Structure 1
């Protein structure tokens, strides 16, 4: 068991049939129930690809986008990541990377790498950032210096390694009597929303591109956000990810008076929940934070200095937690 940075511990292996292989062990703490967290295992894949691209002649060392399909549940065990370059062009390199355990492909991904920073030679030098009135600002209300830490979900095995807060103003919009609810005359609808500050408790931790792959998978799922009157019979559930797509929006800024080193702002929303198996969509944003929880102080204009680091969409299911535990036992028995 280890802090997140140490739980991403991957080494370069051998070449196999046109693939570069990277190897490591899944940490037993970064689980949901008995199954490794989907964002954590995606972070392992992203880290392997970053290592692969670190000395690429193209100079494309930064992840830009990743699409992942979760084919089977992973196990707390040894794994291999098979990385292959599909195409390397002037601006981007396309890769595939598969996470394999016991000769079975558990997760298959397609990644785009490039250079994620401003370019003086850009042919389209256009951005929508503050002070533009079209720019999106960080959607959290409370400053992290005064935000109240909330208990973590009991099914998260890594709860001792992280802290998070609550955003009451956002949660109010999910109430049955909220003006955001719909009726037969409504056009569209806002769905359900959630937000929080989230930090790694280890003082030496840093936000990295692999950790962004984990952070986009941290939120309260749509079924959980429904009022109890709208989810009769729903007990403690597992929300396994089926597909996850992440865009790395901006380079991670260095630690400064404007940006914290190990804390981020999270915002999520979901609009649909339907058969089969409680299938639902989630949209997630990861933002920089002006300080770590309980530190610093609120200053005028702090929101304009925050940067969206990543956005993601995913499709997940709603399954009883007992299924998670049973699959964990089966995975352990096979090893």
Structure 2
């Protein structure tokens, strides 16, 4: 499958794994942060399937990633350090490096979901989201691209600069939320790892990293912005990404629902809270991001040498 190939991690030693970031998953010249997250998930999964196979902990439960510098399409190495190995839950530290510099670092927690036991308290339908998601007729969307509440986004929205978006089909609300609910945005997505023109396929677990970073923008542009400011191409690089995975994506899942909420955009920095549900309304994952708003030229600028300081 195209996605497994694009995030494949090959062991170099017991704690290092080679990866190759695919240009087809880039925003401008920078691989999408969610795709990078999925690649790190793949590398850590490989670590738990090989070096730490004795633990029997195949599932990523949570991760916290700091994006230190821009990544780029091409070869990289993920180095995994065993921090805390336990019978139920284990924690490792993962570092993605390219060209001799560390670009992403973070902690990843693993366990075995099939052996998880303890207190469970049922939540409200759709996890109590307010306002509740509008109902959707998947058969109508498949047949005509539209139902009473949702429509398939036009492919024209996926530009050359944002080609990393091409691996999802986005279904958006027909009516933008009321002004009183400004600050959140909804979408349904289908997985298309082969890009535009390729068929959709069921989601795989590693794709959750990509899904949580392909969020709909949850804020509206200020009426005080000039037309030039509104039209200027923007880049939204991830600074920090936290991911809490509640359960595996059920086999055969064709659709995932995503709600993104933003509390404030301030001085070119904004927060994002992401909720991902499956078709039955079960919670798959929660994610929190710290993200910047930058001009697209920052994305395309020449990269600094490894010896030079700088985050982006």
Q: TM-score, normalised by structure 1?
A: 0.77
Seen in structure 2, the aligned counterparts of structure 1 residues 10 and 125 have a Cα distance that, compared at 3 Å, is same
User: 1:301 is matched with which residue?
Assistant: none
- Determine whether 1:47 maps to 2:42: yes
Contact preservation (8 Å) 2:153, 2:172: yes
Distance 1:112 1:168 in 2: 39
The offset of 1:95, in angstroms, is 0.5
User: 2:215 is matched with which residue?
Assistant: 219
- Greater than 4 Å deviation, 4+ residue runs: 132-135
99-108 or 85-94: which moved more? 85-94
Contact preservation (8 Å) 1:142, 1:167: no
User: 1:150 is matched with which residue?
Assistant: 153
Distance 2:244 2:171 in 1: 25
- Determine whether 1:193 maps to 2:194: no
Contact preservation (8 Å) 1:87, 1:93: yes
CA offsets per residue over residues 122-149 of structure 1, 9 Å max, x none?
3x332224xx579436734433333421
- Determine whether 1:166 maps to 2:158: no
User: 2:258 is matched with which residue?
Assistant: 266
Count matched residues. Answer: 281
Seen in structure 2, the aligned counterparts of structure 1 residues 140 and 326 have a Cα distance that, compared at 3 Å, is farther
Distance 1:227 1:241 in 2: 20
SS of 1:50's partner is helix
Distance 2:64 2:81 in 1: 15
Task: Tell me which of 101, 104, 108 is aligned to 2:101.
Answer: 104
Distance 2:170 2:125 in 1: 30
Structure 1 residues not aligned, in runs of 5+:
181-190, 290-304
The offset of 1:165, in angstroms, is 1.3
User: 1:297 is matched with which residue?
Assistant: none
Structure 2 residues not aligned, in runs of 5+:
193-197, 306-312
User: 1:79 is matched with which residue?
Assistant: 76
The offset of 1:215, in angstroms, is 0.5
66-75 or 232-241: which moved more? 232-241
Distance 1:4 1:247 in 2: 21
- Determine whether 1:8 maps to 2:15: no
SS of 1:57's partner is helix
Pairwise CA RMSD:
2.4
- Determine whether 1:127 maps to 2:121: yes
Contact preservation (8 Å) 2:76, 2:98: yes
User: 2:23 is matched with which residue?
Assistant: 28
The offset of 1:207, in angstroms, is 1.6
Task: Tell me which of 284, 290, 293 is aligned to 2:274.
Answer: 284
Task: Tell me which of 305, 319, 325 is aligned to 2:300.
Answer: 325
User: 2:60 is matched with which residue?
Assistant: 63
Q: TM-score, normalised by structure 2?
A: 0.82
Q: Compare the two structures and name the one with the higher helix fraction.
A: 2
CA offsets per residue over residues 260-289 of structure 1, 9 Å max, x none?
34x3111111011112xx110001112213
Distance 2:188 2:127 in 1: 21
Contact preservation (8 Å) 1:140, 1:265: no
SS of 2:180's partner is coil
Seen in structure 2, the aligned counterparts of structure 1 residues 327 and 241 have a Cα distance that, compared at 3 Å, is farther
